[in-house]
Amino acid sequence: MAITIMPVTPDFAAEVHDIDLAKPLTDAEFAEVEAAFEKYSVLVFCDQHLEAEQHLDFARRFGPLETSIAVYRGDENLRVRPEIADVSNLNARDQIWGEKSRLRMFQLGNRLWHTDSSFKRVPAKCSLLYARAIPPIGGHTEFADLRAAYDALPGETKRRIEGLVAEHSIQYSRAKLGFAQFNEEEKREMPPVPQVLVRTHAGSKRKTLYIASHAGRIIGLAQDEAEKLLAELTAHATQRQFVYTHRWRVHDLVMWDDRCTMHRGTEFDDLRWRRDMQRATVSDTAPTCEQEGARVAAA
Ligand SMILES: [Fe+2]
């Protein structure tokens, strides 16, 4: 049976039906999924029954997998394998985390608008998040369409931000929540990296903003001016008309395009309910400055 694509809006977010991701896709099926991904940015696959290996096999069709940054946290007993980012509220013993645990403080950053791995020199191309357990209340994921947000900017703003390069670091996003307890290995392995503020989306050739809570500075701008501009762009891009909210069901797999969207998790009672979400992440092909040919001035 042919795959069915059901758009949520004409350009952003679509459900994909009549597909079983537990089985390898044919090249023709994969081409349909890939085309939908490049067009809609967020794809929802319902009622998928996946082991970790099947989840990863599907993700690998889109490119090389990332390793979770949890390996730098020195967590000796990861709950999941290193190619999977554990986005749950569970510790290595599979219990709900403690109120004061470092893991909880660190993961609360996922409630801020961000795009995955923009703090890496080669950031993420796409993320594939699979729901194994969800809370009955809250814990949704919101997605913002940064291509549409770019299109809607006034011409003057487009001219102002063209060619600008921001500096992204996971320390910047965590600092916004008062978290600063990075160990030496984390600081060494994850220094701030330059990312263009406007990029051309490789799959559609549309222009897009590329912003995240990980962005903390803009090269060549005074700090207060940079923070104001980043806050304004984020407020613009996350207006209701650019946002799709996904309300999870168990066994949903949602994939999104990290090159042209931001996302955030919404609140839930994380000390009461289990939320077991596991993410495979695919790397982009090159640093954004290299892709855009931007000349990065010395910081
Ligand atoms: Fe994320």
Distance CA 243, CA 241 (A): 6
Query: 57: how many CB neighbours lie within 10 A of its CB?
Result: 17
* CA 174 / ligand 1 centre spacing (Å): 13
* CA 234 / ligand 1 centre spacing (Å): 16
* CA 115 / ligand 1 centre spacing (Å): 6
Domain ranges of the chain: 4-292
* CA 281 / ligand 1 centre spacing (Å): 10
* CA 110 / ligand 1 centre spacing (Å): 6
Q: What is the pLDDT of residues 270-298, one digit of tens each?
A: 999 999 999 999 999 999 999 998 655 44
pLDDT of residue 170: 92
Q: What is the pLDDT of residues 85-136, one digit of tens each?
A: 999 999 989 999 999 998 898 888 999 999 999 999 999 999 999 999 999 9
pLDDT of residue 186: 84
If DSSP codes are grouped into helix, strand and coil, which group holds residue 44?
A: strand
pLDDT of residue 299: 40
* CA 173 / ligand 1 centre spacing (Å): 12
Tell me the HSE value of 289 on the side-chain side, using a 13 A CA sphere. Answer: 15
* CA 30 / ligand 1 centre spacing (Å): 24
Distance CA 264, CA 30 (A): 27
Q: pTM for the whole thing?
A: 0.94
pLDDT of residue 144 exceeding 60, the answer is yes
Residue range 140-151: average pLDDT? 98
Distance CA 35, CA 32 (A): 5
- What is the pLDDT of the chain when averaged over all its residues? 93
* CA 84 / ligand 1 centre spacing (Å): 12
pLDDT of residue 142 exceeding 60, the answer is yes
Decide the pairing of beta strands 14-17 and 42-45. Answer: parallel
pLDDT of residue 192 exceeding 70, the answer is yes
> Which CATH class name applies to 4-292?
alpha beta
Residue range 198-222: average pLDDT? 97
The closest of 177, 145, 140 to 265, measured between CA atoms, is: 140
Q: Look at 35 and 67; give whichever has higher pLDDT.
A: 35
pLDDT of residue 295: 59
Q: What is the pLDDT of residues 1-33, one digit of tens each?
A: 789 999 999 999 999 999 999 999 999 999 999
Bridge partners, 241 (sequence order)? none
Q: Which residues surround ligand 1, an ion (CB under 5 A)?
A: 116
Distance CA 65, CA 219 (A): 30
